[in-house]
Amino acid sequence: MPNILIIDDDDMMCTTLTTLVERKGHTAHSCMTLQEGIAAANSQDFDVVFLDVKMPDGNGLDALPKIEASPSSPEVIIMTGFGDASGAELAIKSGAWDYIEKGFSVKEITLSLERALQYRQEKREVLQARKSATLKREGIIGSSVSLKGCLDMIAQSAESDANVFITGETGTGKELFARAVHENSHRSKENFVVVDCTSLPETLVESLLFGHEKGSFTGADKAQDGLVRQAHKGTLFLDEVGELPMSLQKAFLRVLQEHRFRPLGSNREVESDFRLVAATNRDLDEMVKQGKFRSDLLFRLRSFIIELPPLRERREDIKDLTRYHIDKFCAYYGLPSKGFSPEFIDTLCNYSWPGNVREFVNTIDRVLATARFEQTLFPKHLPSHIRVQVAQSSLEGGSQPLPDAPQQPVQRLPKLQEFRDTVYAQAEQQYLTDLMEVSGKDIPEACRISGLSQSRLYALLKKYAINRNS
Ligand SMILES: Nc1ncnc2c1ncn2[C@@H]1O[C@H](COP(=O)(O)OP(=O)(O)OP(=O)(O)O)[C@@H](O)[C@H]1O
C-alpha cells in the first residue's frame, strides 16, 4: 500500500491532505517541522512526500535534497502559498515531481499524486525486470513460470538483508537457491557457511556453532571460531532447520535477534553480522503445533519466503535440464555430447520424480555410465523402475497411476492437501521399494542412486517399514 508523508506546519492542510490520501486507500503520516519530516523519511519508506516551502525551521526547498536522498527516494510534491516562479524552477530542477500552489483543487492534487505513484510503480517494475535479467543463476536451469517466480524472489531478496526461508521437497534445489541468494547479495565476496542441522553431533554442537576457548573441554587444545562467526559479513545457511534440536532453538533465536553470542568457555561475547538463509522440507507450522519447533523462531525465520516447486509440477523444464546435465556429465567424463530421442524425453516427463532434481541428476549420471559409447539416448537406457512406472501409468486401468493424475472419476474428492500427501507417500514408498531392489539392498549404492544421505535413507526406510537387511 503506498505510504505518503505530509510535511506542513498548517494543521488544517495536514488534515485535508491526510483525508484525501486515505480516501484513495493509501496511508498518510504528517510532520509539522522539517527536522521531524527528514527524520521520518530516514526511518520509514515513503512513496510520495508533500513538502511545504515555508516551514518554521527553514525553507522546504533547502530540505528537498535530503528528502530525495532518504532510503526510499520518494517523489516530492512541493506546495507553496506564494506564487513564486523562481521557486518553482528551483524545485523542478532539483528533481521535485511537481510544484503546486496552495488553494489547489482536489482534482489537481489527486491527479499529481496518482501520476507520481504510477511513475514509481512503473519504475519499480522496470528495475525488477532488469534485476531478474542480470541475476546470477549459476546452475539453476529452467524457464517455467513457477521457477521464474522463485528467481524473481531471489532478485527481490538481493536488495535487503532480511532472513530468507526456502521450502520445498527433498532435492528441489534449496541449497542451490540459498547459494544464489548469497551470490546476488552485497555479501557475495564473504563466506557462505552451511550448517546441516541433520548431522550436528550432539556432544560438540555448541562448540561447532559458537566456537570455543582453549581448554574449555577435553581436547580443546586451541581456541576456535564456530560456524556462526565464520559467517561474519557473509551468509549463514541453516539447512534442514526443522531438525535443529529444541535445546538449541532458544540459543539460536537470541543469536538471530542480537547477532552476539558467547563461545564455550569464554567470558566475553563475540559479534557476527551474518544474513540468515534457512531451508526445510518439513511442515514447520505442524511442528509448532506439536511443540517440536518454537513459534517465535519460525516467525523470525520467515521474513522472505521462497517456495520451490517439485519437479513433477514443472515438467516443462525437463527438456532443458536433460540437455544441460547430459552436456555437463559428457564434459566431465570426456565424452562427445549425445543426442536423445523424443521418447526419452517423454519418459522423463511422465515419471513422478519423488526425489526431484537430485534424483533426476543421478539418473542422467547413471544413464551416461551405461551408454558411454552410444550417440543417442533412448528410453531403454533409463533405469527399469522409471520405465515400469511410466509404462504402467500409461496402460488403461494400470495398477500404478501417476501420483498426480487420478485415472478414475472420483465420487467424493478429498482435500487437495490430503490427496497430495497420500499419493506422495505412495510414490515415495514405491520408489524406496524399487531402490532397495535395484541396489540389491546395498546402502551406499542406494544412497548413490537416490542422492539421499545415509541418515535420511534410514529414516525413510523406517517410516515405510521397508526391510533393509539382505
Ligand atoms: N533448477 C535446477 N537446475 C539444475 N540443477 C538443479 C536445479 N535444482 C536442483 N538442482 C540440482 O539438484 C541437486 C539437488 O539440489 P539441492 O541439494 O540444492 O536440493 P535440496 O532441496 O537442498 O535437497 P535436500 O532437501 O535433500 O537437502 C543438485 O545437484 C542441484 O545442482
Short-list 233, 237, 241, CA closest to 175? 237
Ligand 1 atom closest to the CA of 279, numbered from 1:
22
- Count of all residues that appear for the chain in the document: 470
In tens, the pLDDT along 300-317 reads: 999 899 999 999 999 999
* Amino acid 424: pLDDT: 82
Shared domain check, 412 and 320: yes
> Is 366 part of any domain?
yes
Answer yes or no: are the C-beta atoms of 80 and 87 closer than 8 Å: yes
Shared domain check, 206 and 246: yes
* Amino acid 180: pLDDT: 96
DSSP label at 80?
E
> Is 470 part of any domain?
no
Owning domain of residue 288:
145-307
CA distance 415 to 397: 24
Predicted structure pTM score: 0.65
Shared domain check, 448 and 373: yes
> Is 382 part of any domain?
yes
Looking up cell 486515505 gives: 22
pLDDT for residue 109 is more than 70: yes
The CATH number linked to 261 is: 3.40.50.300
Pick the more confident residue, 347 or 423.
347
Ligand 1 atom closest to the CA of 456, numbered from 1:
26
415 pLDDT tier (thresholds 50, 70, 90)? low
Measured in Å, residue 20 CA sits from the centre of ligand 1 at 51
* Amino acid 29: pLDDT: 96
Last residue of a domain, one of 307, 324, 352: 307
Last residue of a domain, one of 85, 100, 129: 129
Ligand 1 atom closest to the CA of 281, numbered from 1:
25
Amino acid letter, residue 81: G
Shared domain check, 317 and 332: yes
Measured in Å, residue 66 CA sits from the centre of ligand 1 at 46
Pseudo-torsion of CA 67, 70, 75, 79, nearest 10°? -20
Average pLDDT over residues 159-177: 94
pLDDT for residue 190 is more than 90: yes
Shared domain check, 266 and 214: yes
**Backbone dihedral angles phi then psi of residue 191, each to the nearest 5 degrees:** -70, 145
Shared domain check, 321 and 257: no
**Tally of domains within the chain:** 3
Amino acid letter, residue 406: P
Measured in Å, residue 393 CA sits from the centre of ligand 1 at 26
Which stretch of 52-66, 258-272, 310-324, 451-465 has the lowest confidence by average pLDDT? 451-465
ipTM above 0.90, yes or no: yes
> Is 81 part of any domain?
yes
DSSP label at 55?
E
Report the DSSP pairing between strands 235-239 and 275-280. parallel
Residues with CB under 6 A from ligand 1: 139-142, 168, 170-176, 239, 281, 321, 357-358, 361
Last residue of a domain, one of 103, 129, 155: 129
| Cβ within 8 Å of residue 207, ≥6 positions away | 216, 217, 220, 224, 226, 263, 264
Burial of 349: CB neighbours in 10 Å, binned 0-12, 13-18, 19+: middle
Measured in Å, residue 173 CA sits from the centre of ligand 1 at 3
Answer yes or no: are the C-beta atoms of 201 and 227 closer than 8 Å: no
Shared domain check, 321 and 301: no
Q: What is the mean pLDDT of the chain?
A: 88
364 pLDDT tier (thresholds 50, 70, 90)? very high
Shared domain check, 119 and 156: no
CA distance 199 to 293: 18
| CB-based contacts of 311-317 (< 8 A; 24+ apart in sequence) | 311/171, 311/172, 311/353, 311/356, 311/357, 311/360, 312/352, 312/353, 312/403, 312/404, 313/146, 313/404, 314/142, 314/144, 314/146, 314/147, 315/349, 316/143, 316/144, 317/141, 317/142, 317/143, 317/144, 317/147
In the chain, % of residues over pLDDT 70? 94
* Amino acid 470: pLDDT: 59
